[in-house]
Structure 1
Amino acid sequence: MNKNILYIGIAVIAGLLAGYLIFGGSTQTSNTDTENSNISDDHDHSGESMVQMWTCSMHPQIMQPESGDCPICGMDLIPAETSADGLAMNEIKMTKNAMALANVQTVKVGNTSSDRENAVSLSGTIKLNEEANAIQASYFDGRIERLNIDYVGQEVKKGQLLATIYAPNLVAAQQELITAASLKESQPELYRAVRNKLQLWKLTERQINSIEDTGKVLENFPIYATVSGTVSEKLASEGDYVKQGQPILKVSNLNSVWAEFDVYENQIAQFKVGQKIKIISNAYPNKVFDASVSFIDPVLNTRTRTVAIRAVLQNNDRLFKPGMFVSGKIESSTTSPSGQLSIPATAVMWTGERSLVYIKTNPNEPVFEMREITLGNRNGDDFTVVSGLENGDEIVTNGTYTVDAAAQLQGKKSMMNKDRLTAESEAPIMKIELPQAFQVSFRAALDHYIDMKDAFVESNSKQVSVYAKSTSQKLKTINLEGLGKMEKTHLTKSIKMLDAIGDNPNLENQRAHFVMLNENFVPLAKNIDGLNERLYIKKCPMANNNKGAFWLSNQKEIRNPYYGEQMMTCGSIIDSIQ
């Protein structure tokens, strides 16, 4: 009886426990779900759709959805700014603080009006009027005993004594004159010939008559100024020996000067000789000087892509000094069509081949994108736009280079890189045909090269030298018969670099030569057939002063020979040799 009661009690307890587990847990779960449902209703999930991207501080073009190592340099990735989410590939976003610090200003592109002032602003300098320059030269060989001109800028007058010269030839000619004077009755032709020779040496009639009358020979002869002006260049000094016709001084007449301006290639058609130009000097900002274009250089300066135009300015009051900066405004001979787009010159960045601007792509946010445009003529401080912009586009007019710098830092298309940066680039490989005998000998040298590369990885300069010498010896045994000029050059330079590596114990110097070695060695290796194992062509973008450098390896794992332990995994595989 007691046993039955015990069994019944155990069954009741088990039933209660089972009911609690089934219905009680369900109720709790239901309550929990209700709570979670309420939390879900109140919680803002807008941020959960934003995927956190990770980038490299040294290679901002790397963007990955999770943390890890940079595939280029091996550095730890850092969280990318979430503010860049939702932007197009080459768009950048600046903070309001950065915009304020750089004083970034924008303006909407508009059309030119038909009644707009059609003047072109130019910048230039005051230069010497070369038409008014004169050279004071020596008329005979001799030594300058005295030079009466002490400094550049000194004023000289026509007829002023410039220098005194000792001339041995003139001493002999004076003796001839004295002798010929005694024979002028019997030999008049000889007498006239001697006098003419002295006249050609710029001696005056008075000087010649004095020599003839006194019978005394002068040792030192004077040189007089033939023009008035300002000494612009001193070409000789006291004690110098000069030849007949050798310049002593350069004298410039500053009563007139040139105002010379540079005109861009796309502006040339707007100018012609005779056009009126108004000139303002920085020294006299409240004065306007009127002149006319007197010369247009027929030759384009290929370095600056400009042509010089010139105007002559009267300078009797010596207001203009050669070297002064001036600005000019000239009425353009062409007119801008009504309705043509126009932008400020400050908005344009020049790269030599391209004209670039930054447009604001979001009217409510500081989001910008670079755009290449084609420009027309320049009118004053504005350019007309041929293509690339539309009426109403908003462009950066101040702080343009700051925006471009931000684009470069974010790895976007910018002034310096036409396309987005990429993690890989192709090695300098060319397809060449190599003789079979060459390939056999070259394959033997590859093993020694791989050993040398491994020594570079370990930063062991002594082993590097050993393997560089053995690799060089292998290459020196190659028969050059059948090789083309280019192949011989690659081989010769490879041997030269290996010898330099082997002879220099300095590791940094060895690595510098290793860069040049691979530029010649890798193209040859690329064209070798029948290798025992696959070789990988790898590149470190940071080596060679961030220009990038290549190397060969028989391992897929990146082990950098240019930095060793400092940056062991910096680099990437860009190709392989089967």
Structure 2
Amino acid sequence: MKKGIIYIGIAAIIGLVLGYLLFGDSASSNMDADKHNHGAASESQMWTCSMHPQIMQPEQGDCPICGMDLIPAESGKDGLAPEQFAMTDNALALANIQTTVIGSASTDNDNTINLSGKIAVNEEAIAVQASYFDGRIERLNVNYEGQEVRKGQLLASIYSPELVAAQQELLTAASLKASQPQLYKAVRNKLKLWKLSENQIDGIESSGKVTEYFPVYATVSGTVSEVMSAEGDYVKKGQPIVKVSNLNTVWAEFDAYESQLSLFSKGQSVRITTNAYPNKTFDGKISFIDPMLNNATRTVTVRATLKNQDNIFKPGMFVMGTIEGDKIGKSETELMVPSSAVMWTGERSLVYVKVKSDEPVFEMREVMLGARIGEQIEVTSGLKAGEEIVTNGTFTVDAAAQLQGKKSMMNKAGGRTMTGHEGHIGMQENVVSDNSSAMMKMEFSDSFQEQFEIGLPAYLKLKDALVASDAKQTSMEAKSMMEVLEEIDDSKLGNMEKAHFSKIIEMLKAIAVNRDIENQRTHFVILNENMVAIASNLKSLDDTLYVQQCPMANSNKGAVWLSAEEDIRNPYYGDAMLTCGSVVEVLK
């Protein structure tokens, strides 16, 4: 028995020793791993404010806005970061969402830039036909603009008492020319200074009669661009009668944005097309770059001189210019993205990045933009080569972000991740960034701008209906505005411009078919983001517009609208908070 007990004890001791040797190191390793994982989790843990979820800090502390204690931010059940969200493959297919891996300008840019402009009269070929003596216009043979005149053609007949007296002096001096040749010569020279020809002076002298109504002949050939006098007018010496333009050459004047100036130089070739002759192209060269910047439009005039055979080009005609050159898109450091990838709200330029190459996981990214070259836009910061971004269906991805409560175009407060010392920026998000606005420009033809402005009164009526909280009237006004805008030809718009314009039409349709005022106001939020983006890029407005903003609208994310009056009349709350809001930008 004693030996059995001893054997059992020895076996137990041996078992414990073997167990320790076999599993002790593993347990220790697991404990170390757990400890390490816990530490890593703590390092990646972000802290947020329950009242201001846009605040994200890597350490526990106080909210920089309200001072409340920060709480741990949840990373989500799917393990994604707070700013990331996923979409299903089915949703991607239905919305035709496409992504592109971005690279340098050398791989993506087509080395061209497109400009819109007009045909203008060549001011170097303008001549003013003036009267060379005082008198009264008895007959004017040029009566309307566009009339063709030839050199030597009779323009007008003028009665001039001064010229009658000078002719009398000539006849008298002619009878005394043998005895007073100097007087005779001086009188003839006086008539020559009034642009009388030798033949005319000889005719007066030989006939011995005074001509009462003296003819004025055209000194150049061309087209009358302005009639500056009328029959019966008394004119002074040097006073213009008509302005004649030679249209054998014309100017093609294009508007180039400030950010594009480095791309142009005199002598660059320009390929020009026009709506009047869609199947023809015309070649020219840049002959002038305006040294003065237009402060109102932030553009510079780039001019090309064109030969106008057969009077093909008419002053005022819209034209498009395509410029190709070594300067455009050759820098290896430039990062170019398609314009369809960028959403611009007037405050921020945004793109959506696909953060996982094998999964439909996206994240909104704020970027700074440089020059626009055709349908490509330079990104100066916010992206790097090799990243994958959404290039088609951007607005659909943004809508998915909104539905999941993530950072989006509408969520300005959550538009950036902030540390404690940056927290004050969150209170400044409502201020329009002039730098961002200046960096991003959209291009619209003059015809589009004119037609779009016709829709602005309808928009203001729509806004007033929402102020009055009248759902039925809101629906009617949305339908009226939609009918106006649908008449606009958007086929010539760039991808980014077309995306904003299409979103406006889409939101108007949603408002028109809806009878719930709160639902209408929800669509009005998105409508306004796109309205402000386009209105901010119009070259000029007939009337001043005020971009106004309510910080409490759109679930406390803020929302903007346009108004013709500076006084606040809130369309998102109506009488409930009629004067809530402020003016954030003035469009003149």
- Could you tell me the TM-score, scaled by structure 1's length? 0.52
Aligned partners of 2:393 and 2:132: how far apart in 1? 61
Aligned to 1:343: 337
TM-superposed CA distance for 1:290, in Å, is 1.9
| Deviations, residues 509-551 of structure 1 (Å, cap 9, x unaligned) | xxxxxxxxxxxxxxxxxxxxxxxxxxxxxx9999972289xxx
Work out which of the two has the higher radius of gyration on C-alpha atoms and give 1 or 2: 1
Aligned partners of 1:161 and 1:398: how far apart in 2? 66
What is the total number of aligned residue pairs between the two structures?
360
Aligned partners of 2:312 and 2:271: how far apart in 1? 16
Query: Structure 1 residue 387 and structure 2 residue 381: aligned?
Result: yes
CA contact 1:171–1:219 (8 Å) conserved in 2: yes
Query: Structure 1 residue 297 and structure 2 residue 290: aligned?
Result: yes
Instruction: Report the secondary structure of 2:142's partner residue.
Output: coil
CA contact 1:140–1:201 (8 Å) conserved in 2: yes
**Partner letter of residue 394 of structure 1?**
I
Instruction: Report the secondary structure of 1:111's partner residue.
Output: coil
1:121 to 106, 114, 117: 114
Query: Structure 1 residue 306 and structure 2 residue 299: aligned?
Result: yes
CA contact 2:249–2:307 (8 Å) conserved in 1: yes
Aligned partners of 1:424 and 1:309: how far apart in 2? 36
Aligned partners of 1:151 and 1:241: how far apart in 2? 19
Aligned to 1:373: 368
Please give the residue correspondences for 1:61-460 in structure 2 after superposition, counting only pairs within 5 Å: 107-108=99-100, 110-112=102-104, 114=106, 117-334=110-327, 335-338=329-332, 340-348=334-342, 356-359=349-352, 369=364, 371-375=366-370, 377-390=371-384, 391-395=386-390
TM-superposed CA distance for 1:111, in Å, is 0.9
TM-superposed CA distance for 1:200, in Å, is 0.8
Give me the CA root mean square deviation. Answer: 4.9
**Partner letter of residue 330 of structure 2?**
S
Aligned partners of 2:288 and 2:323: how far apart in 1? 14
Q: Which moved more, 1:216-225 or 1:205-214?
A: 205-214
Aligned to 1:9: none
Aligned partners of 2:429 and 2:373: how far apart in 1? 43
TM-superposed CA distance for 1:360, in Å, is 5.9
| Deviations, residues 144-186 of structure 1 (Å, cap 9, x unaligned) | 1111112111111100001111112111211222222222222
Aligned partners of 2:189 and 2:120: how far apart in 1? 40
Aligned partners of 1:402 and 1:164: how far apart in 2? 74
Describe the shift of the 1:349–1:129 C-alpha distance in structure 2 as closer, same or farther (beyond 3 A): farther
Aligned to 1:546: 568
Describe the shift of the 1:424–1:243 C-alpha distance in structure 2 as closer, same or farther (beyond 3 A): closer
Instruction: Report the secondary structure of 1:196's partner residue.
Output: helix
TM-superposed CA distance for 1:395, in Å, is 4.3
Instruction: Report the secondary structure of 1:151's partner residue.
Output: coil
| Deviations, residues 182-228 of structure 1 (Å, cap 9, x unaligned) | 22222221211111111111112222222222232222111111111
Describe the shift of the 1:413–1:230 C-alpha distance in structure 2 as closer, same or farther (beyond 3 A): farther
* Identity percentage of aligned residues: 50
Aligned partners of 1:369 and 1:408: how far apart in 2? 8
Aligned partners of 1:132 and 1:147: how far apart in 2? 23
Describe the shift of the 1:424–1:311 C-alpha distance in structure 2 as closer, same or farther (beyond 3 A): closer
CA contact 2:349–2:367 (8 Å) conserved in 1: yes
Aligned partners of 1:278 and 1:221: how far apart in 2? 49
| Deviations, residues 52-74 of structure 1 (Å, cap 9, x unaligned) | x99xxxxxx9xxxxxxxxxxxxx
CA contact 1:173–1:198 (8 Å) conserved in 2: yes
Describe the shift of the 1:317–1:90 C-alpha distance in structure 2 as closer, same or farther (beyond 3 A): farther
TM-superposed CA distance for 1:269, in Å, is 2.0
Aligned partners of 2:551 and 2:387: how far apart in 1? 45
| Deviations, residues 385-407 of structure 1 (Å, cap 9, x unaligned) | 12122343434667769969x97
Instruction: Report the secondary structure of 2:311's partner residue.
Output: coil
**Partner letter of residue 316 of structure 1?**
Q
CA contact 2:355–2:388 (8 Å) conserved in 1: no
Instruction: Report the secondary structure of 1:163's partner residue.
Output: strand
CA contact 2:365–2:382 (8 Å) conserved in 1: no
CA contact 1:127–1:259 (8 Å) conserved in 2: yes
- Could you tell me the TM-score, scaled by structure 2's length? 0.51
CA contact 1:140–1:244 (8 Å) conserved in 2: yes
Aligned to 2:585: none
Aligned partners of 1:421 and 1:338: how far apart in 2? 38
Describe the shift of the 1:379–1:410 C-alpha distance in structure 2 as closer, same or farther (beyond 3 A): closer
What residue ranges of structure 1 are gaps of 5+ in the alignment?
Answer: 1-52, 55-60, 62-85, 426-538, 549-562, 573-578
Aligned partners of 2:551 and 2:375: how far apart in 1? 46
Q: Which moved more, 1:179-188 or 1:148-157?
A: 179-188
Describe the shift of the 1:569–1:357 C-alpha distance in structure 2 as closer, same or farther (beyond 3 A): closer
Aligned partners of 1:271 and 1:279: how far apart in 2? 16
CA contact 1:541–1:547 (8 Å) conserved in 2: no
What residue ranges of structure 2 are gaps of 5+ in the alignment?
Answer: 1-49, 55-78, 403-407, 416-423, 432-549, 554-564, 582-588
Describe the shift of the 1:131–1:286 C-alpha distance in structure 2 as closer, same or farther (beyond 3 A): same
CA contact 1:413–1:419 (8 Å) conserved in 2: no
Describe the shift of the 1:344–1:567 C-alpha distance in structure 2 as closer, same or farther (beyond 3 A): closer
TM-superposed CA distance for 1:267, in Å, is 2.1
Instruction: Report the secondary structure of 1:279's partner residue.
Output: strand
CA contact 2:222–2:245 (8 Å) conserved in 1: yes
Please give the residue correspondences for 1:488-499 in structure 2 after superposition, counting only pairs within 5 Å: none
Instruction: Report the secondary structure of 2:201's partner residue.
Output: helix
Aligned partners of 1:423 and 1:357: how far apart in 2? 15
**Partner letter of residue 190 of structure 1?**
L
Aligned partners of 2:414 and 2:297: how far apart in 1? 25
